[in-house]
Structure 1
Amino acid sequence: MSTSFRLPYGYRNAPAWPSLYWPFGPDFDPLNLVADIPHSLYYLQDIWRFTVIWSLLFSLAVYLPAGKKAERVFDAVCTHQPVVTGIWAFIMLARSRTLKWYVLVMIPFIFVLGGSIASFVIGSIMGVALAFVYNSGFFVMSTWIPFLWALIHILVVLVGSYSTITAIL
């Protein structure tokens, strides 16, 4: 994607993965932000990799608690009933539609697997699109850009999870 004539002098390869830095220290100079070679991304595969990794991490942080919540909701039918009706409800559900314990344990992993696959696909699309836009405009990409786009992606997923929001839109 990038060509060698566009790379700055002294650029060897992409920084190590997280490479999030805080440039606003006591010796802050806005002109140095343009030439921040150690914390910049130039190649398509580096931009894609940073975006996909951040998307996967944010999806794990959202889908694992959602899966645990779903597991508790399915399990609550049997355990959180009043004493008088709880035994009757437990017997009826045990006969008909109670999920086995191993199915309940699988629910968080199914949520995480589905969320990870979706985040990998969306992170890949975002990463390639970001690389095309930044490289076509000869812009320098900070390592914060993939982080912020992955955060935007997971916030859109969270907003879309509320049924009233999607019904209004």
Structure 2
Amino acid sequence: MDLIRDDDENNSISANPPEGYVEPGWPALYSALHQDPQYLYQPYAIWRFTLYWTLLFYGFVFLVTGLLLLLNFTKRHPRLALLSFALWILSSLLLGLISSTIVAYALAALYNAAFLRMSTWVPPLWGAVQVLLLIFSAAANVPFFTG
């Protein structure tokens, strides 16, 4: 008895992509009004897209804050400022890798368990959610914001 169906009326999938499926290239964002939707099926593809988007968002936020760190501490301790900047960027990459891996495989498990197709718009949204969560949790620890 096969309970897993993959037809156009049901919009559900099994863990395997349909025949003829070609994995979209990154970033693969599409306009819903002008293009056909693109989907991700395999956990590795979901992880890869989520990793790229998370690193892109984390990279921007950490680069801006790292440049502020560099500008503030360069006058007093130039070598220490460069080392701090390098460690700051390295920590952002490590944090992005860890958080995107957790989120991506949780999303892949959820979508595959529910037999759903994942739009290529989901990974950038979750990358943005991770960055916003990081910013809000950091702002909660700054005395200026605690009132």
TM-score (norm 1): 0.70
Unaligned runs of 5+ in 1: 79-97
| 1:10 and 2:10 matched | no
Aligned length: 132
Misfit runs of 4+, over 4 Å: 164-168
For residue 113 of structure 2, the aligned residue among 121, 136, 153 is 136
Aligned to 2:31: 22
Moved more, 118-127 or 104-113: 104-113
Unaligned runs of 5+ in 2: 1-13
How does 1:76-91 map onto structure 2 within 5 Å? 78=75
Q: Distance in 1 between matches of 2:137 and 2:81?
A: 25
| Superposed CA RMSD | 2.2
Assess if the C-alpha contact under 8 Å between 2:28 and 2:120 holds in 1.
yes
The one-letter code matched in structure 2 to 1:22 is S
| 1:119 and 2:128 matched | no
Aligned to 1:41: 40
- In terms of fraction of residues, the more helix-rich structure is 1
1:9/1:164 Cα in 2 relative to 1: closer, same or farther (>3 Å)?
farther
Assess if the C-alpha contact under 8 Å between 1:17 and 1:50 holds in 2.
yes
For residue 128 of structure 2, the aligned residue among 111, 133, 151 is 151
The one-letter code matched in structure 2 to 1:42 is Y
Aligned-pair CA distance for 1:111: 1.1
1:145/1:110 Cα in 2 relative to 1: closer, same or farther (>3 Å)?
same
TM-score (norm 2): 0.80
Aligned-pair CA distance for 1:164: 4.9
Aligned-pair CA distance for 1:116: 1.0
Aligned to 2:55: 56
Aligned to 1:88: none
